[in-house]
Amino acid sequence: MLQILFDALSLGSLYALGALGIALIFGVMRLVNFAHGDVIAFCVFALLWPSTDAMAIVFAGQLPWYLLVPFVLLCGAGLSMLCEIVVFRRFRKANPATMMIASFALGFVIRYFLLMLFSSRPKSINLLPELSQPVEIFGARLPLLQLITIVATMLILLGLTVFLRRTRFGLEMRAAAENFSMARMLGVRANRVIMGAFALSGALAGAIALIFVAQTGTADIQMGAAIMLMAFIATVIGGLGSLAGAVLAGFLLGGASVIMQVMLPIDARPFRDAFVYGAVILVLLFRPQGLISARGTKERV
Amino acid sequence: MSAASPAIEPNLTTGTIVAKPPRPFVLARRTIITPILLALLMIAIALLTMMTGSRPFNQVIIDVFLRVILVVGLYVFIGNSGVLSFGHIGFTCLGAYVAAWLTINPIMKKMAFSGLPGWLIKTQMPYWEAAIIAAIFAGLAALIFGRILMRLSGIAASIATFAMLAMINTIYSNWETVTGGTSSVVGIPIVRSIWPYLIAAIISIFIAWAHAISRSGLALRAARDEPTAAAASGVDIPRERLVAFVISGAIMGLGGALMAHSIGVVTPDTFYLGLTFITIAMLVVGGMGSLSGGVIGVVFLSALIQTLRWLEAGVSIGDVAFAIPKGLQEIALGIIMIIILALRPAGVFGNREISLTRNRGD
C-alpha cells in the first residue's frame, strides 16, 4: 500500500515538475511550449559525448553530483533562454496557435539535432548507481531514488514558492502572469521577466532529465515527448496559467495512472491510458477552466 | 429586437429582408472560383506527374493528395471554428482500419483479426466502397465524440481532442484480436493509380467549400470571430461546431482509408503525433482560416520536404556530387517553418482565399 503511494508520488513529481515548466511560460506569454520535452531530452544528452554507439560514452555524467546537478540545470536554462532569444522573441504579437506551431517546429529542430549527433537508438547509462539501493521505511522496501525524487520535488516546489512570493523578481513574474500589459505599464520589464520564466522552466527541465535518467537508466530521444504530453495535460486540467493548479494536477495524473494500474482488472490493464485520458475528458467537461482557474485568463466582453 | 428598434436599424429587421430577398446562390456564385482554382491546381500537379511517369514520383504525388485530403478535413473544423484540434488524426486511424477490415482477403483476415464478427470477416468489397463506409464510420465516431467534446472551447477543447486521439491510439494498439495490436496489418490491396486520390482530394475541397458557405459554416465563422456577439444573435455554437466536427471527421476517415490503400500497411502509430503535427503545421503555415491556405500549405511544405530529401540523397552538379548530411532535412524544415511563421504570423494566406477578383478576406 505504501509502495503504491510512493509510486504515485514519484510519478506525480515528474508530471508536476513538467507541468510547472509549461505553466511558467504560459503564464507570462500565453505560449504553450511544445519544445519543452525536447529541452528535457537535450539535458539528458548533455551528459553524454556525441556518438552513435548503443553504449553511451558518459562525459559530463562522470562529474561528482554536486557539480553534475548545477551543470544539467544550467544546460536546461541556457538552452531555454537561447530558444527565447532566437525564436520566441519574434512571436510576441502572434496568436497562440502560431506560437504553438513555432514551438513545435523548434522542438523538431532540437530533436533532429540530437538525432544527428546521437542516432535514434536508446542508450543505457548508469547514472549515480548508488541511488538505486532499496531502503526500508515503515516496513516497505523502496528504492532510495524514489524517496530522493519526492524530496527533491518538494524542495524545488518550496524553493519556487519562496522565490515567487518573497523576491522582487518573483513578484514581477506573478504580476506579469496576471496581467501582462498592466504589469508593463507599472514598470515591469517584459523581456527580463519572460527571460526569467524561460530560465526557470529550462532549469526545471534539467531537473526532470536528471530524475528520469536516474530512474530509467536509458537516454532516449523520444522520452521528453512522453513526459511533456502528460505535463501539458496536467497544465490544462490544473487551470492554464495557475502554477499551483499545474502541480496539483500533475500529482493527480500520476496518482490516477498508478492507481488504475493496480485497480483495473487484468484484461483491461493494457487499456489503462485510455481510462486515464477518459478521466481527463471528464474533468475538462466539469471544469473546462481547470481545477484552479487563474485570474486574468477569463475573456472579458 | 425587431419590434424594439426598427427605426434605428431598419436593415436588421426581418421585414427588409423579406422585402428584398437576396438572389439565390449569390454567395456560391461569388466564391465558387476558389475551389475550382484549387481543383485545377490539383489536376495540373496530376498531369505533370503523368508526364514524368516515374514510379517514385507517383508515390510522392499520391502522398501530396492524401495530405490535401487530411488538411482540408482539418480546415473544415479548425479553420471555421478557430478551435485547434489535435484529435482529428484519430478519425484517420478509424478510417484506415475500416478499410483494412473491409478489403483484406477473408482468409487472411480470419488469421489476423480473429475477434471480428463473422459477417465482417466474410465481407470483401472494392476499395472505393470501403472508403465511403470508412468516411461514414469516422463521421459517426465524430458525432459521438463531438456530442461530448463540443461543449468545450479554447485550449480545453484542444486538450480534450488530444485525449480522444490518445484513447483511440491506446485502444487500437492493445485490442489485439480486432486490430492486430501494434503489429502492422498487411494485405490491404494497394491502389497505385493517382486518379482515385486526385478525385477524393477534389471532392473534399468542394465539400469544405460548400460547408464554409452554408448557413452553418457562416454561423460558425461568425462565432469564431465574435463568440459573444454570435451567441447573442442566436448562433448555437456547440451545434454548429458539431456539424463541422462530423464533416471534418468524415473527410479524415476518407483520407485514412485511402492512406491505407496507398501503402498497403497500417499500424496505430502511423496515425499518431507525427502525422497530427505535420498536418496541423501545413494548415497553420498556409493560413489557418483559409481553404486555399491549407491546400497551398500542403503543396508548398511537401515540395520543400521532397527537395530536402533529394538533397539528402545526393545531387550532382557537373562533376561535383554533394549531399546534405542525414537529419538536416528535418532541421531545415523546422527552421523554414519558424521563419515563415515569424514573417507571417497568420500563415501565408491568413484568412483570405485565392480568386480571380480582388477579395477583402472574410
A181 touches chain B (CB under 8 A): no
Q: What is the mean pLDDT of residues A271-275?
A: 87
On the question of pLDDT at A11 being above 60, the answer is yes
Provide the pLDDT for residue B17: 47
Give the strand pairing for A140-143 and A134-137: antiparallel
Each residue of B41-89: pLDDT tens digit? 999 999 988 888 777 788 899 999 999 999 999 999 999 999 989 999 9
B228 and A CB contact within 8 Å: yes
Q: How far is B353 from chain A (nearest CA, A)?
A: 19
Cα(A102)–Cα(A91) distance, integer angstroms:
9
The predicted pLDDT at position B351 comes to 78
Retrieve residue A17's grid coordinates.
Answer: 515538475
pLDDT tens per residue across span A276-288: 899 888 988 888 8
How do A123-124 and A134-137 pair as beta strands? unpaired
- The SS3 assignment for A108 reads helix
Beta bridge partners of A137: A140
Range of the domain at B260: 23-268
Distance from CA of B175 to the nearest CA of A (A): 8
Contact A125, A47 (CB under 8 A): yes
Is a pLDDT exceeding 90 seen at residue A175?
no
CA atoms within 13 A on the CB side of A158: 6
Q: Does B301 touch chain A (CB under 8 A)?
A: no
H-helix or E-strand containing A124?
Answer: strand A123-124
What is the pLDDT, as a whole number, of residue B23? 66
Residue A199's pLDDT is 94
Least Cα distance to A198 among A82, A98, A300, A106 occurs for: A82
Max intra-chain CA distance, chain A: 59
Does any domain span residue B182? yes
Query: How confident is the model at residue B50, as a pLDDT?
Result: 85
Judged by a CB distance cut-off of 8 A, whether residue A293 touches chain B is no
B201 within some domain: yes
* pLDDT confidence of residue A92: 82
Average pLDDT over residues A213-240: 82
Lowest mean pLDDT among A120-124, A130-134, A250-254: A130-134
Best of A45, A101, A223 to disrupt the B interface (most B CBs within 10 Å) is: A101
Q: Lowest-confidence range among A181-185, A197-201, A216-220, B259-263?
A: A216-220
Q: Does A105 touch chain B (CB under 8 A)?
A: yes
For residue A220, the model assigns a pLDDT of 81
Residues of chain B with pLDDT under 70: 1-24, 316-323, 357-362
Instruction: Name the pLDDT band for A298 (thresholds 50, 70, 90).
Output: low
Q: How many CB atoms lie within 10 A of CB B214?
A: 17
- Chain A to chain B, count of Cβ pairs less than 8 Å apart? 125
Q: Which residues pair with B148 in a beta bridge?
A: none
- Give the model's pLDDT for residue A138: 66
Confidence class for position A223, pLDDT limits 50, 70, 90? confident
Contact between residue B240 and residue B224 where contact means Cβ atoms under 8 Å apart: no
Q: Nine-digit cell at A188?
A: 515591469
Instruction: Report the mean per-residue pLDDT for chain A.
Output: 83
The DSSP secondary structure of B57-114, one letter per residue, reads HHHHHHHHHHHHHHHHHHIIIIIHH----S-HHHHHHHHHHHHHHHHS-HHHHHHH-T
Nearest Cβ partner of B170 from A32, A97, A274?
Answer: A274
pLDDT at B3: 42
Q: Is residue B88 within 8 Å of B310, Cβ to Cβ?
A: no
Q: Please tell me the predicted confidence (pLDDT) of residue A272.
A: 85
Q: What amino acid is encoded at A54 in this protein?
A: A
A194 pLDDT higher than 50 = yes
Band of pLDDT at residue A249, cut at 50, 70 and 90: very high
Where do the H-state alpha helices sit in A87-167?
Answer: 96-118, 144-166
Do the Cβ atoms of A223 and A212 come closer than 8 Å? yes
Least confident of A137-146, A214-223, A252-261, B64-73: A137-146
Among candidates A90, A115, A274 on the partner chain, residue whose Cβ is nearest the Cβ of B171 = A274
DSSP states along B124-156: ---HHHHHHHHHHHHHHHHHHHHHHHTT--HHH
Residue predicted with more confidence, A106 or A122: A106
More confidently predicted of B180 and A201: A201
- Cβ burial, residue B111 (10 Å; 0-12/13-18/19+): exposed
How many domains, in total, are found in chain B?
Answer: 1
Q: Which of residues 212 through 231 in chain A touch B, CB cutoff 8 A?
A: 225, 229
By CB atoms closer than 10 A (0-12, 13-18, 19+), residue B227 is middle
Mark B176-187 as b/e (b = at least 16 C-beta within 10 Å). Answer: eebbbbeeebeb
Residues with Cβ < 8 Å from B140, sequence gap 6 or more? none
Return d(Cα B89, Cα B275) in angstroms, integer. Answer: 7
Shortest distance, CA B31 to any CA of chain A (angstroms): 27
Asked if the model's pLDDT at residue A119 lies above 70, the reply is yes
Most confident stretch, A73-77, A293-297, B249-253: B249-253
Is residue B350 domain-resident?
Answer: no
Chain B contact probe: residue of A22, A89, A236 with most B CBs at under 10 A: A236
Rounded to the nearest angstrom, the minimum Cα separation between B114 and chain A is 17
DSSP B263-306: HS-B-GGGGSHHHHHHHHHHHHHH-TT-HHHHHHHHHHHHHHHH
Is A95–B346 a contact, with Cβ atoms under 8 angstroms apart?
Answer: yes
Q: Which residues of B touch A106 (CB under 8 A)?
A: 334, 338
CB distance from B144 to chain A under 8 Å?
Answer: no
Instruction: Examine the pLDDT at A247 and tell me if it is beyond 60.
Output: yes
A238 contacts A23 by C-beta, under 8 angstroms? yes
Contact status of B150 with chain A (Cβ, < 8 Å): no
SS3 A192: helix
Inter-chain contact A97–B334, Cβ cutoff 8 Å? Answer: no
| Separation of alpha carbons A139 and A131, rounded Å | 19
Partner-chain contact A94 B159, CB within 8 Å: no
Of the partner residues A91, A111, A240, the one whose CB lies closest to the CB of residue B345: A91
Identify all chain B residues contacting A274, using CB atoms and an 8 Å cutoff.
166-167, 170-171
DSSP letter, residue A189: -
B chain contacts of residue A273, beta-carbon cutoff 8 Å: 166-167, 170
Q: Does A163 touch chain B (CB under 8 A)?
A: no
Q: Is A132's pLDDT higher than 70? A: no
Chain centroid, CA A82 distance in Å: 18
| Alpha carbons B358 and B95: distance in angstroms, whole number | 39
Catalogue the E-assigned strands of A177-251: 218-219
d(CA B102, CA B335) in angstroms, rounded, equals 42
Q: Is residue B197 part of a domain?
A: yes
Q: What does the pLDDT read at residue B330?
A: 82
CA distances (Å), B83 to each of A192, A238, B236, B288, B308, in order? Answer: 31, 20, 16, 10, 32
- Quick one: cell of A256? 490516477
Which chain A residues in 9-38 lie under 8 Å from chain B, judged by CB atoms?
A: 32
Helix (H) or strand (E) holding B160: helix B154-174
Structure confidence at residue B205 (pLDDT): 96
Find residues 114-133 of chain A whose CB sits inside 8 Å of chain B. Answer: 115-116
Please list every residue in chain B whose beta carbon sits closer than 8 Å to the beta carbon of residue A105.
281, 333-335, 337-338, 341
**Which of A31, A98, A106, A271 to mutate against chain B (most B CBs within 10 Å)?**
A98
What average pLDDT does range A79-96 have in this prediction?
Answer: 88
pLDDT tens profile A20-61? 999 888 888 888 888 999 999 998 888 876 665 655 666 666
Whole-angstrom distance, CA of residue A79 vs CA of residue A208: 15
Give B175-228 pLDDT, tens digit per residue.
888 888 888 888 899 988 899 999 999 999 999 999 999 999 999 999 999 989
